[in-house]
Amino acid sequence: MPRNEAGRYRHIEVHPVAGALGAEIRGVNAAGALDDAVIAEIRQAFLDHLVIFFRDQKLTPHEQLAFSRRFGEPMEYPQLKGLTECPLITPVIKLAHEQINCGGGWHSDTTYLAQPPMASMLYAVEIPPYGGDTIFANQYTAYETLSEGLRRALDGLVGVNTSTKADASKTREDRLKAAGVAMKVLTSEHPVARTHPETGRKALYVNQGHTARFKGWTEEESRPLLDYLFQHQVRPELTCRFQWQPGSIAFWDNRCVQHNAVNDYAGFKRLMHRVTLAGDTPR
């Protein structure tokens, strides 16, 4: 039952947007001085619904950074440069002439790091007249809807994640070239099924953007099972879709959510500001 229906939220309104995950939060000015009680309820909604959305916000980069700090510690994004005036805010941009967007394809952010981010917060600065939605997928349910036998097998596996998988790395190439930054090769190993450190629930923790193989397996051996998991974990009934408006915020839990920025707005510019919040070592 949604928390607002059960009378659990006193300071905010929480409106689920889909059966699998996602909720819109109302009654919050993210640029304002928010009481600890309000922040606690937002944090609870974040854990309950995995991704939460705010509409009609007006944030400077420093205000967005201050809001994000109420939930965690901002970190530098490893492959892209931040804003000059606010380095912990990373611009996520696709120019009108560009064909490939940043964040296209299903993934959880930077799982090639030893300590991948806990969460990401994206703020819409400039959006196309249509298209450019983001889709999110619930990885708790992805794990829980696998057979008992497959869950047992996955519980003993470790995934090898890399920053150089072709589909993911090409979404950053234009930005890196423009900034004169060389592509780093980053690799890390994480459990295929990780336990969320706050909820205790298990989530499927492989993703098409970064997981190359299972530890101790070749890529050829890994491919059939990974391909099955990649298809299973983003089935429509596990997802919600967010239509951006100027001033919208999406705040999602990378420990149990994947996302996909839909690239369907050729000829138009899209500019978002992202804050990445530091996480722990997956277990």
With bands split at pLDDT 50, 70 and 90, how would you rate the model's confidence at 181?
A: low
Q: Please check the confidence at residue 60 and state whether its pLDDT lies above 70.
A: yes
Domains of the chain: 13-277 (3.60.130.10)
Helix (H) or strand (E) holding 158: strand 158-162
Over residues 185-206, the mean pLDDT reads: 97
Q: Please check the confidence at residue 2 and state whether its pLDDT lies above 90.
A: no
Condensed to tens digits (0 to 9), the pLDDT of residues 136-180 reads 999 999 999 999 999 999 999 999 999 998 555 555 455 555 555
Strands 211-214 and 239-242: unpaired
Structure-block tokens of residue 253: 């839990």
Condensed to tens digits (0 to 9), the pLDDT of residues 67-124 reads 999 999 999 988 789 999 999 999 999 999 999 998 899 999 999 999 999 999 999 9
Condensed to tens digits (0 to 9), the pLDDT of residues 211-252 reads 999 999 999 999 999 999 999 999 999 999 999 999 999 999
pTM of the model: 0.93
Sign of CA dihedral 205, 138, 46, 156: negative
List, in sequence order, the alpha helices (H) in 117-252: 139-144, 148-154, 166-169, 173-179, 219-232
Q: Please check the confidence at residue 183 and state whether its pLDDT lies above 90.
A: no
Active site members: 107, 109, 259, 274
C-beta neighbour count of 221 within 10 angstroms:
12
Structure-block tokens of residue 137: 């997928």
Over residues 47-71, the mean pLDDT reads: 98
pLDDT of residue 5: 45
Higher pLDDT, 27 or 178: 27
- Residue pair 59/87 in contact (Cβ under 8 Å)? The answer is no
